[in-house]
Structure 1
Amino acid sequence: MKKANLLIFLLLPLFCLAQATPKLKENTTNLSEVVIQSKKKTIEQKTDRLIYHLENNVTTVGGDALSAINTAPGVVVQNNTINILGKGTSRVMIDGRMIELSGEELNNFLKSISASDIKNIEIISNPPAKYEAEGIGGLINIIMKKGAIDSWKNTTTVSYDQNKYGIYTLRNNFFYNKNKFRISASINGKTGYLNATDDLKMYFPDGLSHMKSTTKVKSENLSGKLALDYDLSERTTIGFQYLNDRNNPDFKSDIIINKYNTQNQLDNITLNNSFTDKGSGNQTYNAHLITKLDSLKRKLSFDVDYFDYNSKFDRNFIANNYRADMTFVDVNQAGRNISNQDIDNWSFKADMEHPFQAVNVSYGAKISFTNSISDVFYYNTSTGIPELDPNQSNQFKYTENNQAVYINADKKLNEKWNFQMGLRLENTKTNGFSETMNQETENNYLKLFPTFYASYQKNENNTFSLNYGKRINRPRFDLLNPFRIYINSNSYSEGNPFLKPSFSDNFEFAHSYKEILRTSVFVNIVTDGYGVLFTSKPETNTQIVTRENYFKNLNYGIGESYSASFADWWKSENSLYFLGAKTEFIKDINATPENSLQIDLSTNNTFALGKTTKLQIDFSYSSPFKSGLYEIGYTSSFDIGFKQDLLNKTMQIAFLANDIFNSSYLKDFTSVVNGVKQVYSQTESNRFVRLSVVYNFGNKKINVKERAFGNQEEKKRTGN
């Protein structure tokens, strides 16, 4: 973040404090609101979404948005992906604003948001037509806390995580609302180190190749947000939002590759040392106008958005070969891999809410323009002098234009029946050009995305619902770049300019009993599915990470969740899912699909040890299972959290012991392609302890509105 922007974020709270009259002591009204919130149901079932209220979850205190999402029912976060069980990878929104990042970049962004500022989380398995059709796994919508007019509030969170190393986090959020003017500003910083280990076994025809890697990751993040809104009149509001996020992690890896012969005797050793300097940043600008047209509650809104993303990747590595007795042989490979990516996006959209006496209708349109330039350079440094290898260097240009229109209608027939239907039309045109290969790839497709919801309330205890939605999953921009980036001397990753989007049809039938027991039966059909392929070159004992449209899939399952209060001091949230799949390969990849039943269960238990003290004990487990090309080992996590309220609840001190038995990491990720079996495991400092302090001051009745950014589809595909 530029120094000027940082200065603005730091001075805004001081300026507004000077204009306001603070009252540090909470009044009676505030205290009564806290009591009401504590009795709120943890989970609410709506027509098109499940709402999870997490204010009573002790383990999220001092944590971030990513850890909060991981506590939501039916949601699992693992390996840089957020999944709704049985659906697939999900997109994430904040107050209806899509976060246009994915993978590691999305996780870093969510880690910069304080969980204490989250009101609830919406799990939308089949999003309505108003939202972009992108994302096969539905949407996770994070709703931030809001409040009353003529007030201000400041929340500061300090936390320290101890794994093998330590991480410090400081977050500050400021809100101000006076008369016609509203402002919110936040700044978040994190620094420290993580430890990651990787283990890969590749069973080649001439023997086993076993790689072990230990990486020390320096984590650095700085992010901020500024939002301004002004009421021109009682009916019209204009506003502006700016968001900036910067990450600069460094990776120091020590890798050893042991190669065995067919008699399982150690033949030779490769020692690979590397240092990677990564960095990324994104800026988002939004200007909007909202106007209420008449007393019939017709509302028209316009948004203009600009998004800019840039990333760098600079890896130096050297790999030396040794005999089994550690006698030096030669240099296996030495190189420098540099990759840069710049993406910019403009989008314009208009939305209309048009209620009629018989039915509520909404409709709108959006256009967006995206440009991406990716540079990949590879230098051979084995002689000590960097030499550019033009055959492994490339510039890739990509453009994407998208136009969309939608209409959505909902109707409540009577006290028992409610219906909602929607239709979205999207037209997409893409062009990718590789300068080195002199290769151009174009796509042009026009697709319809229908949605349907029906709910029936039989009586005050029983509610039934049925929904359907069609979705699209477009490849991230960087996955389309055909050139390779080396992971180590025996492994590299490369994109595929011919990747096409996949499509999914989602069906779900659900029943809720007193909003205590919820049953969900679902089916998810994926066509033209694309994903990662771990292939290999047996002649060079090299692993190749590629992406292909290679499968179609039928996913199905049943989920049960149960909310219970076993006593006034003991509340429990529990879930149990049975998941299955049927996979068919649509491309000859010389592999056989296999599927098996998966069981996923979790229990979260909160104990009130007094009016201001809470203890939470959580446990989750996912069984080993087979899914298409891959077999995956079990994961589990046992967590204990403790929270103490102080100073009339203006301060909280919390302690968390996460994944106490260190069993939540990826285990035995296995595939067999071209007769070569690969088994991969990875840990990323999942076991840690955290100490947090949260302090709130000011009038806590705030009312700062978040505005949805319009470029809701493009940014998330920029992740690494």
Structure 2
Amino acid sequence: MKKTIFPLALLSMTLAYSQKGDQKDTLSIQSIQEVTMTKKVFQKKADRFVYDVANAPVAKGNTGFGLLLQAPLVSSTDDKTLQILGKSNAIIYINGSKTMMNTEAVIEMLKNMPSENISKIEIISVPGSEFDVESTDGIINIILKKKPDDGINGNVRATNNHAKVNRQSAAASLNFRKNKLGISSSLRFSNWTTNQEYLLKNGTKDYFNISEGPVNDPSQNLGGYLNIDYSLSEKQNIALLLNSNANRSYGSDAELFNTVTTPAGTTYNITQNKDDSRAYNNSANLNYQLKTDENGSKINMSIAYLNYRKFANSTNETFDSDSNRWIHGLSQRFRQETPQIINSYTAKADYLQKLKKDFTITAGGNFSKTETDNDILHENLDLNTGSYNKDFSQSNHFVYHERIAAAYFTVEKTFSDAFSAKVGTRYENTDSTGETLDTQETLKRNYNNFLPFASFNYQLNPDNSFSFAFSSRVKRPSFWEINPVRVYLTPSNYIQNNPFVKASNVYNNELTYMYKNSYFLILSHTLLKDDATQIPLQNGNELRYIRTNFGDKNMLNAFVGINKNFFKGILNSNTNAGIQTNQVKGFLDTDPITGDLFDPYVMDRTTTSFRLQSNNNIRLSSKKDLFLGVNYFYISSQVMSIGMLQPISSLDINLRKIWNDWTFVLQARDVFNTNIAIIEDIQANGNYNSVYNKGFNRNIELSVTYNFGNRKLKKMREINDATSEINSRTGS
């Protein structure tokens, strides 16, 4: 069912949306006896923004996901993905290491990670050559708090959420250190049902179709991680990271009432789709670090393994009916088995050499080998005999092998207190083979990419700073998207995956101005060449979403923002507003898999949309134990590859009470029920397509968190993961 709910998946892939630190403090000497400290809560460093949340009231009793939504430049419109400056999906790093889990598992982890464990959030909107990320993806690096010095601490959290149905989650974390050994662990569980309502309309000059009804997806998640760090000597460390997540989604269902109008008249039918699926995501990473001198030079080496397994069985039935939805009889039934198995092996090595205090050279590389196995079975029911027959045109056993070898080199130089620069390049060789075993069809690709990067920073004076960054990246399709399978919502409305999808090239530019580390202006531009996405093609009553390389996309952003305390710290406001211009150009009229011809789908449109995001935390008590949170976002209409997204917004309110080691949070999300996705498109030839998706985002939630153990802290080193972008591509 999770693959069936494709309009929301489209949105998730396309939509956009105090404190203490270790930075230098500014001293203002008013007299010999008095020194005033000014803390830099949000600041721009060489290649990233740093949001220091270690002791922020907003971090008490929250989750990692909730805390990220309070960070400047970070947003989410669907509670399933995170964006930076409204661009694509952000890649999550923890302590400098990429999370190996897929997007769904990472978000589940963040929603159950106690925010008390987080010290800083680093927002890297234009990643350098040393990072393994793709396309427009930015990086959110979560730096956890230091671990206890010879002791134990931890926390437990329980949450109850009510939207259309009641949902629960619980999590616990435990940290331990003794001499040279440090251990960090967590365990989480959730019982969470996603409910949606759809109204789908599409048509041509002769055909008209309306599908409406609910989609329900009950899901149970069990996961956790174990990090073990051991100091071999003062200069050598070894670490083992284990991550695991299991998802069980049995009993997912959809029921859509379809009204079909043709020149011959109007008919009615009901489509019922039932799905059982389970997925397992397990990874291991072994890391070794050697400090080679006292200046900070070091060698990092890692090896990693990822095993992802998903098994899904679905049955799709269509019944003839009348306008009153009375069922007359079964007209069609088919069933599918859609397993996916991914094994990935990665090795990575980096060397950082500080030649002088102001001059650093970094070099490294990685190699990854990934194998996927998708044995798809599609069977149609013979209504006369009652037996199922294999549909060989839609069944396939598709295997895919991919090898990526990469190397990078960067140079960073501080020329003066006012000016610094960092330049580098990344080389990637991709060698891939896709084979459909049933037909012996083979698709081979081998291509090289040189990906330059540059950033420049200028500090005009203590209050004013400027920075500019440029990067180029490669955007590869997910492993599921290249598996040639159809995913049905109704018999005439479905997704067609495509093994012929090619990687896209992406170019990013960003100019930033900051004033007093509280006010900022950001201008950015992103160009996607030969962008790959899902395109709706229509032929009569059939609507087929084709995954393919469609055309070029330009995004131009201009944001102004503020992150500042007012009224002696009573109010903390994190607000940004701006405009985004999207330009989409493309043309498609042929299914690249079947060669079927459709009415042309043309997109040549430019829109300018307004965006506002404001997160506010108000202290209600002089004891700093009661807070009110008021958060709001608004996005006006904007063009996407599949049509025009209509305005969308949400108002969230929360009340937070701190009592000793306990924190209680009551919050209401989407108070006015305005977070509803509506996409509409009308072609010049009269073809039209619209999607109305209500996700029941209005909900109320109560969470309770208890912190325990030793509060004395000692740093546990940051670990560089061996993974490339592999795991972010396991999702469907």
**Contact preservation (8 Å) 1:281, 1:310:** yes
Aligned counterpart, 2:584: 583
Aligned counterpart, 1:288: 287
| Residue 622 (structure 1) shift | 0.6
Deviations 1:469-516 (A, max 9, x none): 111111001111112122233322221111111111111111101112
| Residue 104 (structure 1) shift | 4.1
**Residue identity matched to 1:654:** V
Residues 225, 637 of structure 1: alpha-carbon distance in 2 compared, 3 angstrom cutoff: same
487-496 or 453-462, which deviates more: 487-496
| Residue 679 (structure 1) shift | 0.4
Residues 590, 604 of structure 1: alpha-carbon distance in 2 compared, 3 angstrom cutoff: closer
Deviations 1:316-357 (A, max 9, x none): 121101233656555332111110010001111111111002
Residues 67, 377 of structure 1: alpha-carbon distance in 2 compared, 3 angstrom cutoff: farther
Out of 471, 478, 481, the position equivalent to 1:479 is: 481
Aligned counterpart, 2:211: 211
Aligned counterpart, 1:709: 721
1:115 aligns with 2:127: no
Aligned pair count?
677
CA–CA distance in structure 2, aligned partners of residues 63 and 260 of structure 1: 50
**1:215-614 alignment to 2 at 5 Å?**
215-250=215-250, 251-260=252-261, 267-324=266-323, 330-357=329-356, 359-381=359-381, 383=383, 384-538=386-540, 541-568=541-568, 569-585=570-586, 589-610=600-621, 611=623, 612-614=625-627
Residues 76, 598 of structure 1: alpha-carbon distance in 2 compared, 3 angstrom cutoff: same
Out of 666, 669, 688, the position equivalent to 2:699 is: 688
SS in 2 for 1:458: strand
1:625 aligns with 2:638: yes
Residues 617, 296 of structure 1: alpha-carbon distance in 2 compared, 3 angstrom cutoff: closer
**1:92-103 alignment to 2 at 5 Å?**
92-100=92-100
CA–CA distance in structure 2, aligned partners of residues 189 and 211 of structure 1: 35
Aligned counterpart, 2:7: none
Residues 144, 673 of structure 1: alpha-carbon distance in 2 compared, 3 angstrom cutoff: farther
CA–CA distance in structure 2, aligned partners of residues 71 and 57 of structure 1: 11
Deviations 1:350-393 (A, max 9, x none): 11111002611111121111101111111113534332222211
Aligned counterpart, 2:663: 652
**Contact preservation (8 Å) 1:59, 1:656:** no
CA–CA distance in structure 1, aligned partners of residues 59 and 330 of structure 2: 49
1:127 aligns with 2:140: no
CA–CA distance in structure 1, aligned partners of residues 419 and 431 of structure 2: 40
Deviations 1:110-147 (A, max 9, x none): 43433343333222111111111423232222222224
SS in 1 for 2:68: helix
Q: Which ranges of structure 1 fall in alignment gaps of 5 or more residues?
A: 1-37
**1:42-57 alignment to 2 at 5 Å?**
42-54=41-53
**Contact preservation (8 Å) 1:492, 1:545:** yes
SS in 2 for 1:107: helix
What is the root-mean-square deviation in Å for CA atoms of aligned residues? Answer: 2.3
CA–CA distance in structure 1, aligned partners of residues 245 and 718 of structure 2: 17
SS in 2 for 1:295: coil
Deviations 1:384-431 (A, max 9, x none): 433222221101110010111111121111111111111111111011
| Residue 262 (structure 1) shift | 7.0
SS in 1 for 2:480: helix
**Contact preservation (8 Å) 2:299, 2:350:** yes
CA–CA distance in structure 2, aligned partners of residues 177 and 231 of structure 1: 11
147-156 or 370-379, which deviates more: 147-156
Aligned counterpart, 1:21: none
CA–CA distance in structure 2, aligned partners of residues 295 and 328 of structure 1: 78
**1:16-35 alignment to 2 at 5 Å?**
none
| Residue 63 (structure 1) shift | 4.9
What is the aligned-residue identity percentage? 24
SS in 2 for 1:656: strand
**1:669-688 alignment to 2 at 5 Å?**
669-670=680-681, 672=683, 675-688=686-699
Deviations 1:522-550 (A, max 9, x none): 11111111111122331xx2221221111
**Contact preservation (8 Å) 1:61, 1:654:** no
**Contact preservation (8 Å) 1:591, 1:674:** no
The TM-score, its normalising length taken from structure 1, stands at: 0.89
**Residue identity matched to 1:44:** Q
Aligned counterpart, 1:697: 708
| Residue 294 (structure 1) shift | 2.8
**Contact preservation (8 Å) 2:587, 2:602:** no
CA–CA distance in structure 2, aligned partners of residues 506 and 583 of structure 1: 16
**Contact preservation (8 Å) 1:59, 1:640:** no
SS in 1 for 2:672: coil
**Residue identity matched to 2:575:** N
**Contact preservation (8 Å) 2:372, 2:399:** yes
Residues 503, 429 of structure 1: alpha-carbon distance in 2 compared, 3 angstrom cutoff: same
| Residue 273 (structure 1) shift | 1.8
CA–CA distance in structure 1, aligned partners of residues 444 and 59 of structure 2: 45
**Residue identity matched to 1:698:** G
626-635 or 465-474, which deviates more: 626-635
313-322 or 329-338, which deviates more: 329-338
Residues 519, 97 of structure 1: alpha-carbon distance in 2 compared, 3 angstrom cutoff: same
CA–CA distance in structure 1, aligned partners of residues 481 and 243 of structure 2: 25
Residues 461, 446 of structure 1: alpha-carbon distance in 2 compared, 3 angstrom cutoff: same
CA–CA distance in structure 1, aligned partners of residues 292 and 125 of structure 2: 32
Residues 317, 63 of structure 1: alpha-carbon distance in 2 compared, 3 angstrom cutoff: farther
**Contact preservation (8 Å) 2:285, 2:304:** yes
Aligned counterpart, 1:24: none
CA–CA distance in structure 1, aligned partners of residues 456 and 304 of structure 2: 34
**Residue identity matched to 2:582:** A
Aligned counterpart, 2:13: none
253-262 or 154-163, which deviates more: 253-262
Aligned counterpart, 1:10: none
190-199 or 710-719, which deviates more: 190-199
